[in-house]
Amino acid sequence: PWGRPDMAPQKFTARIFAGDPIDVYNGGNLRRDFTFVEDIVEGVLRVTDHIPVADENWNAFDPTPDASGIAPFRVFNIGRGETVELMDFISTLEKHIGKKAVLNMMPMQPGDVEGTWCDVSSLHRAVGYRPQVSLDEGLEKTVAWFRDYYRI
């Protein structure tokens, strides 16, 4: 579960353990697609076992999202494919840490969006990818790793 320290899982975990406030934008009314690293690895491994072939129906003037062009390649999004309310994410972290977060409620940031998620439908069709790790299980593993790594 080692991750970028500026991203929500690591940043929020560190701040909750330290008792530092978490900036929560748009009153917590944000939805994000949180994906555990094991599911990302599974998606990559599945793709490496399926070598793409050139698409004979490729039309450069009318491309489709699933078309690969004349070169044998495919581009896939790998994620969970569903959104989680930010406040549910925080409460799940609190449960596994055993401590309430200090929340600093902030307005929506300019340029931010209320919801983002990954469309994994083409990846599922191509290689049968379905993420297996739930938010609860992923955050439980993340907190356990964090405790072990930082000796908390």
pLDDT digits (tens, 9 = 90+) for 24-50: 999 999 999 999 999 999 999 999 988
Query: Once rounded to an integer, what is the mean pLDDT over residues 83-107?
Result: 98
Query: Once rounded to an integer, what is the mean pLDDT over residues 6-31?
Result: 96
In a domain, 133, yes or no: yes
Of the candidates 90, 62, 79, 57, the one whose C-alpha atom is nearest the C-alpha of residue 123 is 79
Structural domain for 116, as ranges: 8-150
User: Residue 123: phi, psi to the nearest 5?
Assistant: -65, -40
Residue 69 has, within 13 A of its CA and on its CB side, a CA count of 7
In a domain, 137, yes or no: yes
Of the candidates 99, 96, 81, 100, the one whose C-alpha atom is nearest the C-alpha of residue 139 is 96
Predicted TM-score (pTM) of the model is: 0.85
**Collapsed DSSP state (helix, strand, coil) of residue 106:** strand
In a domain, 3, yes or no: no
In a domain, 144, yes or no: yes
In a domain, 42, yes or no: yes
Q: Report long-range pairs for 106-110 (Cβ below 8 Å, ≥24 apart).
A: 106/23, 106/24, 106/25, 106/26, 107/25, 107/26, 108/25, 108/26, 109/25
Residue 69's pLDDT band, with cuts at 50, 70 and 90, is low
Q: Using one digit for the tens of pLDDT, what is the confidence trace for 96-130? A: 999 999 999 999 999 999 999 999 999 999 999 99
Q: How much of the chain is in helix, strand and coil states, percent to nearest 5?
A: 40, 10, 50
pLDDT of 72 higher than 90: no
In a domain, 52, yes or no: yes
In a domain, 2, yes or no: no
Question: What percent of the chain is predicted at pLDDT more than 70?
Answer: 95
In a domain, 97, yes or no: yes
Task: Look up residue 81 and give its two tokens.
Answer: 């494919």
Looking at residue 131, what is its pLDDT?
A: 97
Query: Once rounded to an integer, what is the mean pLDDT over residues 80-91?
Result: 97
User: Looking at residue 117, which CATH number applies to its domain?
Assistant: 3.40.50.720
Of residues 75 and 41, the one with the higher pLDDT is 41
Total structural domains in the chain?
1
